[in-house]
Amino acid sequence: MKSKYILILVLILITMPVCAKEKNVDKKLTELEKHVIENKGTEKPFTGKYNVHEEEGTYTCKRCDAPLYRSSDKFKSDCGWPSFDDEIDGAVKRVTDADGRRTEIVCTNCDAHLGHVFLGEKYTSRDTRHCVNSVSMNFVPVKTGQKRETAIFASGCFWGTEYHFEKKKGVISTRTGYTGGTTKDVTYEDVCSGTSGHAEAVEIVFDPMVISYEELLKLYFNTHDPTQLDRQGPDVGTQYRSEIFYENEAQKKTAEKLIKILKDKGLNVVTVLSTSGKFWEAEKYHQNYYRTKGGSPYCHIYQDKF
């Protein structure tokens, strides 16, 4: 019995520094930053460096560098603190104050205190104001802050798949193509024959400071039927299969998490997860098809599944 407790203690000691490293909360803070971030204080109004700040970029957590807000969601409220009417998806957590009167906002990643959120003030169409302390944030301007990551999704006809992603904020570029097969220098005719093993897919280059891979995945699942095997609507064949080609283990785990959520909701998801490989760009007339030709997809209708 004693050895069991010793083993548990050793495991705790081993995992503690890992957790601290993951959340990156070992930064040295000034006394004012500690007062606000750790002790849930408030900086004096109209004194924060980001109160009047209009540069384009991303506001990140002072303690762990997690992206919190986009400059495009910042607005002038004259309240004395930076104001935002939206946050980056999943970046901010809302917690009711101990007195039950206000709603505190904290960084989802490290629980750093940011400020409070208020509703019903009619400042913007979103009717939401995140009142944030400047000392709780850093700022990454676009010219130095833009990063690029890639996502590759197959969900039926690539015209419809691309239609939804190319309009999404944070997506830098899209291109249709073929992947997941066995032949080289593949063409549209090869893929249509069903003998090349390729799927019609879309390669998406995005800025993770603006839109997360999880947000893209949710759009992917919400714009096709992941329960249909080797088809999507009237398009039938293995080239129209539902498949995610992940770039790394983080992308794979995120996909597995969302698939589990959908399965727990009762959906018989048949989406396949595969490591990404060679992506063959489709012919020019397949690129940005609906944007060029007009119209909208016939089998990629948005439906919120989450």
Distance of alpha carbon 157 from alpha carbon 236, whole angstroms: 10
Classify residue 159: in a domain, yes or no.
yes
Report whether 51 contacts 81 (CB < 8 A): yes
β-pairing verdict for 103-107 and 67-70: unpaired
Co-location of 135 and 155 in the same domain: no
Co-location of 173 and 270 in the same domain: yes
pLDDT exceeds cutoff 80 at 4: no
Cα distances from 61 to residues 43, 65, 88, 182, in angstroms, run: 16, 5, 12, 45
Co-location of 162 and 260 in the same domain: yes
Single out the residue in 118, 144, 170 at which a domain terminates.
144
Report whether 76 contacts 89 (CB < 8 A): no
Element (H, E) at 217: helix 213-222
pLDDT at 11: 40
Co-location of 162 and 226 in the same domain: yes
Classify residue 14: in a domain, yes or no.
no
CB atoms within 10 A of CB 141: 12
- Taking Cα atoms as reference points, which of 260, 262, 227 lies closest to residue 242? 227
Q: Using 50, 70 and 90 to split pLDDT, how confident is the model at 144?
A: low
Distance of alpha carbon 144 from alpha carbon 213, whole angstroms: 20
Residue with tokens 């969302």, as numbered in its chain: 258
Co-location of 176 and 286 in the same domain: yes
Provide the mean pLDDT of the chain.
88
Classify residue 298: in a domain, yes or no.
no
Co-location of 234 and 178 in the same domain: yes
Report whether 190 contacts 183 (CB < 8 A): yes
Classify residue 16: in a domain, yes or no.
no
Each residue's pLDDT tens digit, 17-28? 333 333 445 578
Q: Is the dihedral of CA 37, 40, 46, 50 positive or negative?
A: positive
Single out the residue in 144, 159, 189 at which a domain terminates.
144
Q: Rounded to 10 degrees, what is the CA torsion of 19, 20, 22, 26? A: 180
Co-location of 178 and 152 in the same domain: yes
Residue ranges in 146-187 assigned as alpha helix (H)? 158-165
| CATH number of the domain residue 65 falls in | 2.170.150.20
Report pTM: 0.55
Single out the residue in 83, 117, 144 at which a domain terminates.
144
The whole domain housing 110 covers 27-144
Classify residue 7: in a domain, yes or no.
no
| CATH number of the domain residue 288 falls in | 3.30.1060.10
Distance of alpha carbon 109 from alpha carbon 49, whole angstroms: 23
Co-location of 165 and 109 in the same domain: no
Co-location of 205 and 229 in the same domain: yes
Q: Using 50, 70 and 90 to split pLDDT, how confident is the model at 177?
A: very high
Co-location of 274 and 260 in the same domain: yes
CB atoms within 10 A of CB 267: 16
User: How many domains are there within the chain?
Assistant: 2
Q: Which residues are catalytic?
A: 131, 157
pLDDT exceeds cutoff 50 at 256: yes
Classify residue 45: in a domain, yes or no.
yes
Q: What are residue 226's phi and psi, to 5 degrees? A: -75, 5
Each residue's pLDDT tens digit, 32-55? 999 999 999 999 999 999 999 998
Co-location of 171 and 266 in the same domain: yes
Co-location of 150 and 288 in the same domain: yes
Each residue's pLDDT tens digit, 259-295? 999 999 999 999 999 999 999 999 988 988 888 788 8
Classify residue 35: in a domain, yes or no.
yes
